[in-house]
Chain A
Amino acid sequence: MIMESGPQETSLKANFFLVWSEVVKNMKFLMAYPVIFIFWTIFPFFWFITFIFQGQAIVGGLQSPSFAKSAGTSEYIPFIIIGAILNGYVLTSLYGVGESIRREAYQGTLDYLLSSPCNKAFILIGKAVSETISSTVYAIIHLFVCVIFFGIELTLGVIMPIMLILILMILGLYGIALMLAGLSLQFKQAHDLAHTLEYVFLVFAPVRYPLEALPFWAQIIGRFLPLTYALIAVRSLMLLKQDFPAIYQQILLLFVIDVLAIFLGFYLFNWMEKRTKKSGAISQY
């Protein structure tokens, strides 16, 4: 009896199972390296503590009137901390998904993934979801510590809006991560691409200073980054004590960027995948 073979309709259940399997695999991988988990929990604190001491040296106190002129708040420490926590999401997304693809290539499993009949987008979604889960765990820990030790104020009323902002920001980062993953299939140097994007976020997004501190041309670049709007929105809620309607514009712009980023991300990834399959570069590293 000859079994019929060919493209078959994949059920939503099967796709969900694929995403779930990918999440479980990546989480097990993370658990196999507990040191990595401890690292990402602790080290982000080291990275923003220097800014706090720097502020102390320059200002001599916890508040800076000079800083308030462009930031809208003189409390530079909470400003920095919020930037650091959200930037953490950027780092893990940029390095997480892109590096995940490269790791598959390095281990020799990428060929098998790509030749499987499943929809590759769901593999990527699985990778992205597992990175988000770990990033969220880290962020909650960081926020908890900052509330206790650094005097960050977190009221119940801001939690839901912040979660919405984070979800939108993450979606935008997924799109960017997909673009990165696609580019790394062809150009191999995933780490360099991820680093380059990290620099863009570091310099042009208001992680450690308000957008207004940058020259006009740099501000334009910053306005194309999902992190920018997320930071402005979260700081407005937590530091400037503004209501949700006041950040409506940021939410809308974030949504538009998400749609663009995800569309471009999928398109670029699929195009690059086809291109690398044709050129045979798929499993080179």
Chain B
Amino acid sequence: MVHNKNNDLYSIQTINLTKVFKKRKHKGIFGFLKKKTKEEKSGSSEDVTVALDHVNSEIRSGELFGLLGPNGAGKTTLVKCLSTILIPDEGTAIINGFDIRKQTSFVRASIGLVIGGERTLYWKLTARDNLMYFASLYKMPRREAKQRVEEILALMNLSDRADERLEDYSTGMRQKIAVARALLHNPPILLLDEPTLGLDPTFSRQIRNQVRELCKKEGRTILLATHYMKEADELCDRVAIINDGKIAAIDTPERLKAMVKETELVEVSCYNPPHNTEDYLRPLCPDVEIITLIRGDEAKGAPSRIKIIGGNAEKHVSTIVDALRKKDAQITSVNISMPTLEDVFIKITGAKLAEGGIT
């Protein structure tokens, strides 16, 4: 492991990791006859895509680290560099103490890779055949591999379907086998690139629960690349926001959200609010910034709305609801708005949802 100044253990460390791709322009069948433009002759920067731009990061041992960004941000490129599939153009990374450039075999033995998507396994083979094959590629002795495959299939609740071909599995079940494959050789580090992509909510939840267990109960280090904000918020100890190949911010989800000025907002809709609502509620929640009543046209069926803004407003919801009921207010709804990671992303990167934003 790599130690930092405070003697924390880092499972993964990237040092100036950079990856650049050349853009391919298709000029058609007779393109070679066309004259090159000035920009093409000079090889300007527009001919390349900087997928990773001097990325520096550290992930502690046993941490569930999120990499959040929209499509094209560089998440998959980073995961591929760390898993030694892609060779970076500059910089390096240290995985479990091994350099990705110089000690690739040990890096590969230290990681398990899961990539979301339809085709990542041999569909014409059974689940057991798939896992046994990959176990051999992880250099596991046959006896050990057999035992491990049975354990993993039981863990995934797929023992009874282990001898069916994957082409007969649902997408969610195939993804479970993909996760099983990553765990075969018991790696200390897992690299997950959008593992819930294309899965229904049930399977997505199962995968997320599994990921949480793998980290918290089994102490594995997990790098989770995702564009699902909720996934990152729910699971990760720390989140790095990545955009255009650069890491814009790294911190816990709470601290990241605290960077955003839009603070908590609680909105209570009710009929027959108490007289002097603001003065009535203020003493009950002294730390909130604003309490305001917006009267609705109750004769036409529009309720009044009480907005409580700032300073742990959510904490006071039950107090406010009880107080309003004591005064015979008829509450129709309570909405709590909190800043999300999306708000953080937009604030930090300036990118809008429409421009390939996150979900």
Contacts and interface: CB of A to CB of B under 8 A. Distances in A.
In their complex, do chains A and B touch, with some C-beta pair under 8 Å?
A: yes
A196 B26 CA distance: 36
Contacts of A37: 29
A32 interface: yes
Interface string B25-40: 0101100000000000
Interface size class of B (residues with CB under 8 A): under 10
Contacts of A7: none
A246 interface: no
Nearest to B31: A34
Interface string B2-42: 00000000000000000000000010110000000000000
A34 B28 CA distance: 8
A31 interface: yes
Contacts of B26: 32
A37 B29 CA distance: 10
Interface in A19-54: 31-32, 34, 37
Interface in B157-199: none
Nearest to A28: B28
A105 to B, nearest CB: 14
Contacts of B28: 31
B297 to A, nearest CB: 33
A213 to B, nearest CB: 41
A78 B29 CA distance: 33
B163 to A, nearest CB: 21
A32 B29 CA distance: 7
Interface string A170-182: 0000000000000
A189 to B, nearest CB: 12
A34 B32 CA distance: 11
Contacts of A31: 28-29
B327 to A, nearest CB: 50
A48 B206 CA distance: 60
A31 B28 CA distance: 7
Contacts of A34: 29
Contacts of A32: 26
Interface of A: 31-32, 34, 37
5 contacts: A31-B28, A31-B29, A32-B26, A34-B29, A37-B29
